[in-house]
Amino acid sequence: MAAPIPLLPDLARLTQAALFNARELLADARKLADAGSWPRAHALAVLALEETGKAGICVQAMAPLEQRAPEAFWKAFKSHEDKLEIARGVLEILIREPVGPIVETFERLGHAAKSGHVRKMGGLYVGYDNGRIATPDDISATEAQTMIADAQLVLDFHMQAWGDADAPARVVERLAESGVDQGQFMVMFREAMEVDADTAVRRVGRFIREQIALGLEGASAEPGNSHGESHPGEQDDQAAATAD
């Protein structure tokens, strides 16, 4: 029998801890990139993206949003591919505009998660396949830079609501206040998915952005980015993410 899902206060603290760890991993990835160590920089950036996915899994488990049984929660929590799929979902659905039918987007997320894990390992180990020796040097500077940028976008999106010291307690309080309404919304969302998945996903994206805005109410400080710098296009990306 699987261990129970952590209680809500622990899930909130775990969410923030995972995001803070992603911030540190990205800082180290940038140091490696500055030194020209692109394969290792890429690997750490993928790990940072995984940590944001872990945070997303914890958020999903917060009642009344809870969608997984304990067995499924811990499987996703420990799965590299599941965490990458969740993180990629935030990037491709909540931050960027989905391209094509949402069903196709979900399929691409699954493929991207598998590929991301394989490429991460390829940046750390020598491999062999059908007579070809693969080395970490197969990871290019462009691939590493793209992964760092993608992970930063996802981290910044989450840090809007989780970046200050009071965030875990504030989120718990907000859930207690609006739990019934959120529970009803999730019931309607599951029903709407069966009728029109594209419209339903747009609605839940709007809902999540609204919850982030609620989470920011009463924040003790403006959340910063992962390493105290401004990223080109960051404000434009965040503005696009909050557009209807």
Q: What are the phi and psi torsion angles at 141 (to 5°)?
A: -60, -40
Question: pLDDT digit string (tens) for 101-116?
Answer: 888 888 899 999 999 9
Q: Mean pLDDT, the chain, as a whole number?
A: 82
Strand pairing partners for 134?
Answer: 127
Q: Say if CB 161 and CB 212 are below 8 A apart.
A: yes
Q: What are the phi and psi torsion angles at 135 (to 5°)?
A: -120, 160
- Top CATH class of 8-164 equals mainly alpha
More confident residue, 174 or 26: 26
Amino acid identity at 186: M
> Can you spell out the DSSP letters for 180-240?
HHHHHHHHHHHHHHHH-HHHHHHHHHHHHHHHHHHHHTT-SSPPP-TTS-PPTTHHHHHHH
Domain coordinates of the chain in residue numbers?
A: 8-164
- Which distant-in-sequence residues (6+ apart) come within 8 Å of 220 by Cβ? 164, 165, 166
User: pLDDT category, 190, cuts 50, 70, 90?
Assistant: low
Q: What angle do CA 198, 201, 205 make, to 5 degrees?
A: 140
Q: Is the model's pTM score more than 0.75? A: yes
Question: pLDDT digit string (tens) for 40-95?
Answer: 999 999 999 999 999 999 998 986 656 679 999 999 999 999 999 999 999 988 88
Amino acid identity at 48: A
Work out the angle between the directed axes of helices 8-34 and 38-60 (0-180°, nearest 10). Answer: 170
